[in-house]
Structure 1
Amino acid sequence: MTDILKDVTVYGKEQPWRERKIACAMYGEYVTKLNYKKSARVVECGEVLRFASSGSELRLFQAWFCHSRLCPMCNWRRARKQSYQLSLIINEALEQNPSGIFLFLTLTEKNATASTLKTELQNMNASFYRLFQYQKTSKNLLGYVRSTEITFNEKNQTYHQHAHVLLFMKSTYFRDSQNYIKQAEWSKFWKRARKLNYEPIVNVKRVRPNVRRGDTSLASSAREVAKYQVKSTDYLTGSESRDLKVVGTLENALNHTRQLSFGGVLKDIRQQLKLDDLDNDDSPQNLIKLGINPATGQKVTEVDYVWNPVSNNYEKW
């Protein structure tokens, strides 16, 4: 009987390696048909996974990933890493500025077409920096982390680009009307910065680090910022002609763009924690080494799993 990969976390949740690789294979077919130079790298993404095994525990030891922005495998790993890093940054920010408060700001605008998406994204990013050059929006700002999300509207064949922003503010933000910015006022500031001729929908809310139902609203907001820039279900539907158009549009629009951007003390803390050094997903950082685990005394061995395109599963080598 073939030994199939089953990577279960300490919380009992199985890691979706198989599902991500199946989606990655479909994406690989699309970029190959679109004649992208990276197609071979995408097709081979995550084909071999090398784990360090200690008893029933598996930790990824070595692998090769394509790092393509739309790759479902790399997106999943990237989102997990970014969420973890952002939690470290948030904790350190509150340690350094215990009176600071967090706001979760969502900035939207009208949908773009396939031909205008790239330009609208560039304009939106430039407008974001203008938004925090105004006296009232900047006077209480300590730092921020921003991400851009794009969803596809099947009915209208348009793209909805919007920004999620986690703002770290001084405690004086809620002190009086000279500091506090109402939601309608945020909308006016965004309209002005974005140079729009309509009132954009903007949402802002305070997020707190207090525990509720085993989680925190702040942790949820961090995951929202760190999540996928585009959900794979928007461009991997199995309808080839439709998907090829969407993939082509997104590849062009996202080329040379940054998924997350940091500012102020959150940027400083990211540099202090040297999180930039963790950008290489292929290196076995913070993983147990082969040999004897000094913490448990158990022997740590290497276990390799290879993707089998016939059975659509990872099988032990």
Structure 2
Amino acid sequence: MLSGERLSAIRAKVNRAQCSQNKKSATLSSVSINGDRITERKKESFKTANSFIIRGKIEENETLTKRGERSLNCAQQRYVVVVNGKAHTVFTHRCRSRHCQNCQRIKAFVWQEKMKEIIPELSINFKNGKYLFITFTVKNPKITNLRLVLKCMSRAYAKMFQRKAFRFVVGGIRSTEITRGKSGDDEAHPHFHAIICLKTTYFKKENYLSADEWGRHWGECLEAEFKKEGLEYNAADYPKGFPRVDIRVAKSADGKQEITNKNIAEHGDQLINYVLKYSIKGSDLLKDGKADKWFWEFDKQVKGIRMIAPVGVVKKMLADLERDQFDYYKEQEKIEKLIADDVNFKADKAVFKKEDDFDYYMESKKDRFQYIIEAIEAKAYNYQCYYKALLSDHLLAFRSGIDGIIENFKKIKNTKTREGFEILEKAEMGLVKIQCERIERLQFICDALVRVGLYKKMSDFEYVNIHTKDKTTIAKNNIVGVMKAVEEKLLNDFNQDFMRLENAKSQDVFNTVVDRVNEKSALIKLVRNEILAAGAYAYDADNCEYIDLETNERLEVIATIE
């Protein structure tokens, strides 16, 4: 939740005048300049989702029905902040379907941002690099062959850049776009859009490749891949004997400047956004708003196909990017930064439903700051559930590992030979190493729970749940930390067994419990000697006491019952 000080600071700067619009009838489009685009994408996905549900019910196909229901619920409600007239989605549930226009837009945006993130490094390493915008085509295949053709295109594209003629290519990225083939209702029109960075030496006369030369290389690589898959490739299908490759020098939006690594940060946004847009338009996906035979075949053909692929140094740079992890407190800062320059910003929940028509209607029931808080908490909730489950699983594995070490100590206590002792001691070191690795993972998970707003870190190894106040303590990831965890488990077991002595109802039961108590006592002594040997405990022989050198605490003497 936003801190009281932070919330007060924001409120002090903002004019809290109420919106004069009719709250019941206000739509996302009526309060934001980009509301129409957001709503249209939802409407297109809504139609596609319904198509899956209807077909699933007709065919009694549960998989199709679930896919449709998941897409139907995608972005059904979205928390939005409207700043300077533009709506920004703070949080919404996503289905991640390839046919969902909302999710494909988000995916495209992520790729666009990744490309923009590597531009500074690209500009430093290849400061004079220039760019080409290229479209690679192929003869329209039958929709039933689309999958194989896409695979051939991907492999041909990769192999083409391995040829000597393309040694001047620094790197680039390409995306796949598919439209309905105009030459036949049973065809598709797949093509690649690519932005390619080239060394300036490429543009010298002896190194330069014309569009036809690009086309020949593309055609040769395609033909080889088509033959591998048993597909027909006929050069006579193309006017020049090879597929058309459209090559243009990449230019700024106004067409006045050629894009280079010196100015791409300033002028390259539009081109990058165009190349990394979508795989198929919503208007092309359905025919007259309905799923037809072409759509259902398309759905089968594109399953698992990779639509975006980098090449060259761009591929490595993108792979080296750190994954952007959700941080509850950074999300607060992002929102504060977003609304800082608009005192009249609006925050609300847009709900897709039917009143006059299917549209995003603004809920307008709460204070706008409450909507911001709810949005961040809703976004954090999924991460919190994931890491809580992960923590539970890893704590279970750690406890199981402690039990394994205790079993090994039992064997050490009972071993009679030097050889057996050495084998068991080696096994102990292996078990301790595994536990140290588990502790590292536990600490990572607890730190993640801090990052997503559920835990507060009290010290390097102690965390507290903000809501329940429950504490989670992680052992130190070294032999002393692991052995102290073993000691703690044995002490708990010892105390529980000792308490059972009072309730023993027969001599046999009493003797059995005494044996267990004495065994635990002996094991505790073995473990404390291990910690003593590691230099973390001292031993006071006069009082038969172990002393924890870190805390100067004298440990309880665990006696054996005679």
TM-score (norm 1): 0.83
Which of 123, 135, 150 is the aligned partner of 1:106?
A: 135
Contact kept? 2:158, 2:311, Cα under 8 Å: no
Q: Mapping of 1:187-266 within 5 angstroms?
A: 187-195=215-223, 196-198=233-235, 199-208=242-251, 212=255, 218-238=268-288, 240=290, 243-266=291-314
| Residues in 2 aligned to 1:215 and 1:63: alpha-carbon distance in whole angstroms | 39
Which of 306, 324, 348 is the aligned partner of 1:277?
A: 324
Contact kept? 1:60, 1:287, Cα under 8 Å: no
Query: Which residue is equivalent to 2:196?
Result: 167
More strand by share: 1
Q: 1:239 to 1:16 in 2, by over 3 A?
A: closer
Which of 78, 96, 107 is the aligned partner of 1:49?
A: 78
Query: Which residue is equivalent to 1:5?
Result: 28
| Residues in 2 aligned to 1:285 and 1:107: alpha-carbon distance in whole angstroms | 41
| Residues in 1 aligned to 2:253 and 2:80: alpha-carbon distance in whole angstroms | 36
Higher relative CO (Cα under 8 Å, sequence separation at least 6) belongs to 1
| Residues in 1 aligned to 2:337 and 2:209: alpha-carbon distance in whole angstroms | 57
Which of 123, 148, 153 is the aligned partner of 1:124?
A: 153
| Residues in 2 aligned to 1:263 and 1:117: alpha-carbon distance in whole angstroms | 23
Q: Percent identity?
A: 22
Q: 1:58 to 1:309 in 2, by over 3 A?
A: same
User: Quick check: 1:33 aligned with 2:54?
Assistant: yes
Q: SS of 2:288's equivalent?
A: coil
Which of 361, 368, 372 is the aligned partner of 1:315?
A: 361
| Number of aligned residues | 307
Q: 1:7 to 1:169 in 2, by over 3 A?
A: farther
Deviation at 1:23, TM superposition (A): 1.1
Query: Which residue is equivalent to 2:411?
Result: none
| Residues in 1 aligned to 2:359 and 2:257: alpha-carbon distance in whole angstroms | 34
Deviation at 1:286, TM superposition (A): 5.8
Deviation at 1:273, TM superposition (A): 4.1
Contact kept? 2:171, 2:312, Cα under 8 Å: yes
Deviation at 1:248, TM superposition (A): 1.3
Deviation at 1:208, TM superposition (A): 3.8
Q: SS of 1:116's equivalent?
A: helix
| Residues in 2 aligned to 1:190 and 1:214: alpha-carbon distance in whole angstroms | 28
Contact kept? 1:144, 1:166, Cα under 8 Å: yes
> What letter corresponds to residue 20 of structure 1 in structure 2?
R
- How far does the alpha carbon of each residue in 1:70-115 deviate from its partner, in whole angstroms, 9 at most, with x for none? 1122223333443343334345422432111111221111111121
Aligned-residue RMSD, C-alpha: 3.3
More helix by share: 2
Contact kept? 1:292, 1:299, Cα under 8 Å: no
Q: 1:193 to 1:85 in 2, by over 3 A?
A: same
| Residues in 1 aligned to 2:125 and 2:153: alpha-carbon distance in whole angstroms | 31
Moved more, 184-193 or 306-315: 306-315
Q: SS of 2:89's equivalent?
A: strand
| Residues in 2 aligned to 1:237 and 1:21: alpha-carbon distance in whole angstroms | 17
| Residues in 2 aligned to 1:140 and 1:119: alpha-carbon distance in whole angstroms | 30
Q: SS of 1:16's equivalent?
A: helix
Q: SS of 2:324's equivalent?
A: helix
Larger Rg: 2
Moved more, 19-28 or 305-314: 305-314
Which of 102, 106, 128 is the aligned partner of 1:73?
A: 102
Query: Which residue is equivalent to 1:18?
Result: 39
